[in-house]
Structure 1
Amino acid sequence: MLRDVSGAGIDGAIIKISADSTVIAYAISDKGHFNVAFHTGSKKVKLIAESMGYESVENEILNMSQTCNITMKEKATELKEVVVKAPAIYQRGDTLSFHLSAYTTQSDYTLKDALKKLPGIDVEKSGNIKYLGKDISNFYIDGLDLLGGKYNIATTNIPASYVNSVQVLNNHQAVNMNKDIFSDNVAINIHMNNNARFKPIGTYEGSVGYGDDWLYQASGAGMLFKPKFQTIATLKIGNVHSFTSDEAASLFGGIEEESKAEKLMGNLSTSTPPLDQDRYASPAERMFSVNFIQKITETATLRGNVDYSYSKSQYDYDIQRNFYDGDENIIIDQGINSLSASHAPSFSIVYKNNAPTSYLNNSLFGKATFLRNDLPTTENGQALMQQQSMRDYYIGNNFSYSWRRKKLRWRLSSSVLLFNTPQVRLTVTNEGNDIHQSANSLSFQTKNLLSAIYDFKNSRFYLPLSLNYSADKMQTDLRSYRENTNNKNDMTAGQLSVAFAPRYEYTHPKRIYVFRADVPVRMDYIYNRNHIQNEKDKFSFFSVCPGIYFNYKFSSRSTFRTQVAYTRNFGDILDFLTSPVQTDNTTQKISSGILQDNQSLMANLHYDYKIPLDMWFVNADIIYQREHSNLLTSQKVASDLIQSTYLYMPNNTHNTTAQLGITKQIESIKTKISLNGLYIWRQQQAEQNNLLTTYSWQSVGISPTVTSQPCKYVELDYSGEISKTFLSYEDIKRSYWSQVHKISLKITPIHSLILSASSDIVKKDLSENQSKTTGLLDFDITWLFKAFRFNLSLQNALNQDSYSYTIYNSINTYSYNYKLRGRELLFTLAMTL
């Protein structure tokens, strides 16, 4: 406790711990209270207390857990004229806070732009946020979970100027009653400034331009952030940029948004080259969303999220697939003009009561998708048409209730999910030689858990019992000119799993290390029925899947974490579809009729080192995974048909991944430098045209990133990816280089005027002795006037018309050539209220 001579607590004092003349930890007093956690081998340390208006106090204390009472004498200080600035970064316990304006510039318009400037934080192309290489588990705005996993809505619509600070919550435990249980999750909390609180605010933007055709885009986002109520409503429409796939997606995962029929048939228009979608695809999209959260009591909230998106996209590309066939390979050439349109409404309603001794969460959610694809195709010089339509929806509810009584905690949870795909249709028209494929599926899943946790000193014993059940029904019908018969599947299948997964956990009293050991024991009962052949099959499996976890905190700066886990999972109803299913004009799938049994052993080593005040961040990971399967993928390739199936052949796949990330922030010149290295090695088997091949695939690469503002007039952004990929099988060895460089230079000759030029430079090997370099150049002029932003943009100024690249897919080689959008001139007016 820190008091003055009258006994009153002192607020805002700095308490530092020093060992060998080095400050190893510090804290800031709150009404006299403070808590400093540190780790050092010294027997004694110095405790130093400093506060303006008081004499400094320095005491030598033993290195042990203890309570210190300090009295500080008042000291008059004559102040000179000063400019008070908030620290750019400060740490209190496990919370690291960034004062956002210390890192941003005039060109950082959205919160997403600003987050990319923060040391230790990476924002991926999808909008996914990582801290020291780890995905965040929660995203809060002033402590409230408004958006769940759809936090792209916040980062792309909230202006950076409305955010005061960004907090990184290390070892975040989202459930209050479990605050004493260690967690290695990391969360982000956004603190809005006073200009954005208590009153409606909004961002509105309109664009018009011309390229290959007329371009337009309009968007608006209205927001309100109060202590007990928050809302964001958005509306977007246009054909300039693609936005629905990012803002409508949950970045926390959640349920697998794919039915059995969709998993089987796939999406004809899902080709994704390593290039920004806006470079090659012409979109026409619209979307609206309404999101709110109401704080009902001090611990209870009610959240609602509703959105609807419509996406239409058109793009052209050529693909040459080179299939390994011993001495003479098989080549299939295709030219595809893809036109895809989809409607996707969704909703969720979440009630949460996060009390100190209990936790209640209930989430009701649903989504529907209506998809249509039209693909005029030229294959080996012959014209044909592929058309696909799909309708599916899911609706579900997740319920969880936990409560605590002294040393015993209980948890009860139950979830139900209904997934229905009433229709998927594929039609291939080829000069009267038509193919008609239809499929439908219905799935029901329920997962139920009853768990008890017993606390005994520094140990915990987890005793969870789970009961899961799933039931599936699926039908397919293929009518093809290739075979003068109807190929049908009519199946039902189900799985019942009963598991008891005890866990032991030990946490050091000072949380220096945490150890966990799991021994899940599971019984699986699986059945399927073929209604056409009137056959039934039943299976039962007993599995023990142990795992260990160890987290060691060397100091406040460095952490070591390791995890080893063995898992086992089984296939589903798709394993029993033994009649052919056509998925596009050249591909047929035929299941083996044998249930897949996949076993995996994973070992992960992680280390991170950080000096927040010096803005050094380092993280490293090594992951090894061995997968064993009883089935091996097999292909039979001809010039006009690829048949994919599985063989009963036990096989192993080995994967090794090594990753290193280093970030340094140089505050004096507002520069963030990051360097990420990645190495991947994989070895597995493939069977094609009766040739069994063992192949190995390797990739090594580095990804440097620099954002710098050496002076107020100049800003430089650079990101690159340089990698080399190796493939070897039989006596064949292949490799190719890939380089992607993105450079942006911004100059501010006068206040509020920004001139920028950016370029995407791509160099990729197309074959062993041939490479192609593509350069895309953009120019922008931006003028900021009070709440308005005017922008004139010239995209693809060099009018590049194509983009080519090659990839290795197993033992095969695929070469792509995409048509790019031409030169585009765009004017944008944006307003922030």
Structure 2
Amino acid sequence: MKFFFILLFSQFILSQSKNISGLVSDDNGKPLEYSNIIAKPLQEKASLKFAIADYKGLYRLELESNVKYEITVSYIGYIKEVLILEPNSKITTHDFKLKSTGEVLKEIVIKHEYKPIVIKKDTLTYDVKAFSNGNERKMKEILEKLPGIEVDKKGNVTVQGKKVTRMMVEGKSFFGGGSKLAVENIPADALDKIEVIDHFNEVGFMKQVSDSDDLAMNVKLKENKKKFVFGDVETGAEIANDNGFHLAHAGLFYYAPKTNISFIGDINNIGKSTFAFEDLMRFDGGSSSFLSNRKSLTNLFLFTNDNNDVVENKSQFGALNFSFDTSPKLSISGFGIFSKVFMQSKIESENDYLQNSLVSFENKLQDNNSKSLLGIGNIKLDYSPNKKEKWYYNSQFQSSANDIDNIINSITNVNSNTFETISKADNVSVKQFMEWHKSYNEHHTTTFVVNQAYEKNTPQNRWLTNQSFLTGLIPLQNDIIYTIDQIKRVKSNNVDALFKHYWIINNFNHLYTNIGNNYINSNFETSEKQLLTNGTINNFGNNGFGNNVKYQLNDTYIGLEYKFKIGKWTNKPGVYLHWYNLSTKQNQLDYTISKTLLQPQFNSEFEFNKSESLNFNYKLSNTFPEVSQMANQFTLQTYNSVFKGNALLENEQYHAANLRYSKMNMYRGIVWNATASFNKKVKTTRNEIQLSGINQFSTPILTDNPETNWRFMGSVSKKIYRFNLKLNSNLSWFNYLQSVNNVATSNDRNNQNIGLTFKTAYKKWPDISIGYNKGFSQFNGLTKSNYQSDELTSEGEFTFKKYFTFRIDYENIKNTDNFNQTNFYDIANTSLRYHKKNSPFGFELFVNNLFDNKVKNDYSFSDFMITERRTFVLPRVFMFSVSYKL
């Protein structure tokens, strides 16, 4: 680490620079906001510099000393002005006054004008070459260097604190719009520009009225990549130890004006997942963005565990994305995905139970083996009969199979038992939607959407043990070996429809009318039985187990939204009237409720200028219970848990409010983001828990007990000389009432996380980042618990001898409990890559888990239990890989 600071300090001393600042205005003194200031060096071996004026017309340029520059200022509709700055000039301030061309231009074509960042109302465009040093391999490394953009370890992208929800390449969705596949596979040298589009809508003529909250990122490719096959392939094998670690990866792309094809394939056993859960949920969606998605029943979590918190991980992945225009009016796109994952994990935990007279602790050892298969096929038709009409049809088929073998050894102060759980689940879903949009004239536009989804989920579980368990909760008969079989069947069919009319009264007043219907029909069945060694069957259905529920929920609604604008302030109040009808049939019990509920909402945005805004959203919502929550017979959940639903549940009701502020000031090199949210449930469904030893019985109860959740997330980053300094925070306060053993307790769960990150921001310097995060967690309920965490992270990338790149990242985590007892975990990964410029071959030597740590430690707490956990991780991975760039 000392080497990093010495290197930075020496670079700081040796690099001489000078600043020039001032104002850009017209000849009447009116500031010209977001003018482009370009400093072109008039000698070799010096880089071009740029700046963008802020909304007050102020600019600041950082220039090299001893270099002669031609500084050009341009603004649309004005004659550009040029200043020649001599080497070692003493000039530190200069105001530019541009004269109007005096012409009203319908179209402006600017040739060879360099604009590193262009800011428009809803679009932010980055020119990649202004931020790249040429050593980046993938799109992720480019994005991390763009001001205001961040990429996390899961491949999620945020811009000025707002998450990117749609990823596109050349204006077309990339693998359903997920970000991880794009940022980790698209080659950096194929990128020309990055466009960030707020309030994104696929339908151009709908953008003015749709009020979409989507944030899209569109990748513009270099001209020589737009009709060309590009990408890379990589293969690697272990060169130390004998663990059999290997990897093979391919990312191949073909882009042409009418045909786009992308293929991504990956095989590895080093714990690397190819796509994240957020991306998978997008693939899993298959529904229109105009309709709120129903909760999916299929279990897809196993396919997205991008972590090394396992002792073995084998992954096979293949994905094909295509898009082609069959005619000027019709285009067809789609994707196919196949994934196969095998994982083995091992976890040891110490559980301290609260308010429990029988059992005070449990030592639990858990070994888990899982094998999961997933296949997804999706096709979308985009038809535009004319410029004012758009049709979409999307269809998706999905199938998955999960096999899990889990062994748990539970040791308490009164008993010791070993359980084996074997689970299998076959899941199928078919989803489709149709959209129609039509603009009749500049005042009237309509949208009609129909969404349909069918899902079938059939999990089967078997528990095996040699001792009786869950005494008093399940009707076991004495036997030598206890074998319990459980089958669940869940079928769900959803049909949603929406008709919406947009009336643009004038530029400052809009009126939107909504009519819709949401319908869900579900069947939920469960059965449990004991297989006795004498060949007979003990059916739990004779003792209150076994569910067969027919569930229907219909929601018909009408809504009115009024959008008006006063200067820079835009408001949209709305009110929706819902007619809910819920009916269930089970065990000769018919239950029906009908409710008419009014749900107001309000959206407001104040735009101070193009790069500073304040947004507020409020909504009153009602959510009805799921079918499994209303199943009023017992259901075995785990080796120590039984659940019983409540057939008389009604709707939860909650208020949700959100306030968001964002600002980007290029003149001062500062980016602000802050979000404050408040959620309050006034009608709450929460499980009542009965605890006896380690055994738990829970059932949901609807109460008027309020639950409140406050959360604040914020960050501010500032460029200081050639460094970036960032401060971030994540604070939350959650209060709720929980019943354990018939004792209702007011619980508070509070968390505070504050972090500081320091990184270099100069193309000629190594990329170095050092961060520190301090976390606090408090639980106040049956007991008081306080935990702290200290996390130190650092990353470095150094290029030397032109063709060698050395990377290293290090993470150090310390957890501290109530009694000042600590556990510790650190991990480092490093690599050395050789890639000669213009050569297709690259060679890399990399090491994961450099220190060969065996376990990862952490603390957690629930309403009745405190847990210290040790998770076993993959051993050190020492590999050599060869890549070939097309």
The question of a shared fold, defined as TM-score above 0.5 by the shorter chain, is answered with yes
Structure 1, unaligned runs of 5 or more:
1-13, 29-35, 62-66, 72-83
Structure 2 residue aligned with 1:75: none
Alignment CA distance shift 1:353-1:39 (3 Å): farther
Structure 1 residue aligned with 2:261: 231
Structure 1 residue aligned with 2:138: 110
Task: Tell me how far apart the structure 2 counterparts of residues 758 and 40 of structure 1 sit (CA, whole Å).
Answer: 40
Structure 2 residue aligned with 1:472: 522
CA contact (8 A) 1:765 1:805 kept: no
Shift of 1:19: 8.3
Once superposed, what is the RMSD of the aligned Cα atoms?
Answer: 3.3
- The answer to whether residue 584 in structure 2 is matched with residue 528 in structure 1 is yes
Shift of 1:526: 1.0
Shift of 1:741: 2.3
CA contact (8 A) 2:273 2:304 kept: no
Shift of 1:16: 6.0
Alignment CA distance shift 1:557-1:756 (3 Å): closer
Structure 2 residue aligned with 1:78: none
Alignment CA distance shift 1:70-1:569 (3 Å): closer
CA contact (8 A) 2:358 2:693 kept: no
Structure 1 residue aligned with 2:4: none
Q: 2:418 aligns with which of 373, 383, 390?
A: 383
CA contact (8 A) 2:364 2:408 kept: yes
Q: 1:705 aligns with which of 739, 757, 764?
A: 757
Task: Tell me how far apart the structure 2 counterparts of residues 125 and 143 of structure 1 sit (CA, whole Å).
Answer: 25
Letter in 2 for 1:330: S
- The answer to whether residue 516 in structure 2 is matched with residue 485 in structure 1 is no
Shift of 1:68: 5.9
Q: How many residues align?
A: 778
Residue aligned with 2:176, SS:
coil
Alignment CA distance shift 1:497-1:614 (3 Å): same
Alignment CA distance shift 1:164-1:438 (3 Å): same
Shift of 1:677: 1.0
Alignment CA distance shift 1:334-1:171 (3 Å): same
User: What are the equivalent positions in structure 2 for 1:644-723 lying under 5 Å apart?
Assistant: 644-665=698-719, 669=722, 671-708=723-760, 712=764, 714-723=766-775
Residue aligned with 1:810, SS:
coil
Task: Tell me how far apart the structure 1 counterparts of residues 711 and 28 of structure 2 sit (CA, whole Å).
Answer: 38
Structure 2 residue aligned with 1:359: 390
CA contact (8 A) 2:509 2:563 kept: yes
Alignment CA distance shift 1:18-1:120 (3 Å): farther
Structure 2 residue aligned with 1:446: 495
Task: Tell me how far apart the structure 2 counterparts of residues 249 and 334 of structure 1 sit (CA, whole Å).
Answer: 31
Letter in 2 for 1:415: N
User: What are the equivalent positions in structure 2 for 1:144-159 lying under 5 Å apart?
Assistant: 144-159=172-187
Structure 2 residue aligned with 1:190: 219
Letter in 1 for 2:569: Y
Percent of residue pairs identical: 15
Task: Tell me how far apart the structure 1 counterparts of residues 692 and 228 of structure 2 sit (CA, whole Å).
Answer: 66
Structure 2 residue aligned with 1:417: 453
Letter in 2 for 1:24: E
- The answer to whether residue 191 in structure 2 is matched with residue 163 in structure 1 is yes
Task: Tell me how far apart the structure 2 counterparts of residues 652 and 685 of structure 1 sit (CA, whole Å).
Answer: 8
User: What are the equivalent positions in structure 2 for 1:314-463 lying under 5 Å apart?
Assistant: 314-325=344-355, 330-353=360-383, 356-380=387-411, 381-406=416-441, 407-430=443-466, 432-457=481-506, 458-463=508-513
Shift of 1:745: 2.6
Structure 2 residue aligned with 1:9: none
Residue aligned with 1:455, SS:
strand
- The answer to whether residue 575 in structure 2 is matched with residue 519 in structure 1 is yes
1:564-623 Cα distance to aligned partner (Å, 9 max, x none): 111111112112212221222112211122224211101211111112465422111111
Structure 2 residue aligned with 1:756: 807
Residue aligned with 1:24, SS:
coil
Letter in 1 for 2:670: W
1:389-441 Cα distance to aligned partner (Å, 9 max, x none): 10111101110101121222121111111111244334334451222221011
Structure 2 residue aligned with 1:32: none
Shift of 1:128: 1.8
- The answer to whether residue 806 in structure 2 is matched with residue 806 in structure 1 is no
Shift of 1:377: 1.6
Q: 1:822 aligns with which of 858, 875, 880?
A: 875
Shift of 1:543: 0.8
1:762-806 Cα distance to aligned partner (Å, 9 max, x none): 111245320122222333221112222211122223222111110
Letter in 2 for 1:120: G
Letter in 2 for 1:410: T
Structure 2 residue aligned with 1:127: 155
Alignment CA distance shift 1:313-1:402 (3 Å): same
Shift of 1:323: 2.7
CA contact (8 A) 1:341 1:372 kept: yes
Structure 1 residue aligned with 2:247: 217
Shift of 1:748: 2.5
1:352-374 Cα distance to aligned partner (Å, 9 max, x none): 23664122111111211100111
Letter in 2 for 1:821: L
1:321-365 Cα distance to aligned partner (Å, 9 max, x none): 323216786323210111111100001111123664122111111
Structure 2 residue aligned with 1:177: 205
Shift of 1:751: 0.8
Shift of 1:151: 3.5
Shift of 1:722: 1.9
Question: Which one is further off, 805-814 or 550-559?
Answer: 805-814
Structure 2 residue aligned with 1:780: 831
Q: 1:624 aligns with which of 678, 690, 696?
A: 678
Task: Tell me how far apart the structure 1 counterparts of residues 393 and 739 of structure 2 sit (CA, whole Å).
Answer: 47
Task: Tell me how far apart the structure 2 counterparts of residues 346 and 430 of structure 1 sit (CA, whole Å).
Answer: 41
Shift of 1:528: 0.7
Residue aligned with 2:183, SS:
helix
Alignment CA distance shift 1:184-1:144 (3 Å): same
CA contact (8 A) 1:399 1:414 kept: yes
CA contact (8 A) 2:280 2:304 kept: no
Structure 2, unaligned runs of 5 or more:
1-22, 38-51, 58-74, 84-95, 107-111, 288-292, 468-480, 533-537
Shift of 1:811: 4.5
Task: Tell me how far apart the structure 2 counterparts of residues 546 and 232 of structure 1 sit (CA, whole Å).
Answer: 44
Residue aligned with 1:594, SS:
coil
Structure 2 residue aligned with 1:638: 692
Structure 2 residue aligned with 1:311: 341
Task: Tell me how far apart the structure 1 counterparts of residues 192 and 673 of structure 2 sit (CA, whole Å).
Answer: 27
- The answer to whether residue 336 in structure 2 is matched with residue 291 in structure 1 is no
Task: Tell me how far apart the structure 1 counterparts of residues 226 and 756 of structure 2 sit (CA, whole Å).
Answer: 38
CA contact (8 A) 2:33 2:53 kept: no
Task: Tell me how far apart the structure 2 counterparts of residues 131 and 180 of structure 1 sit (CA, whole Å).
Answer: 22
Shift of 1:258: 6.1
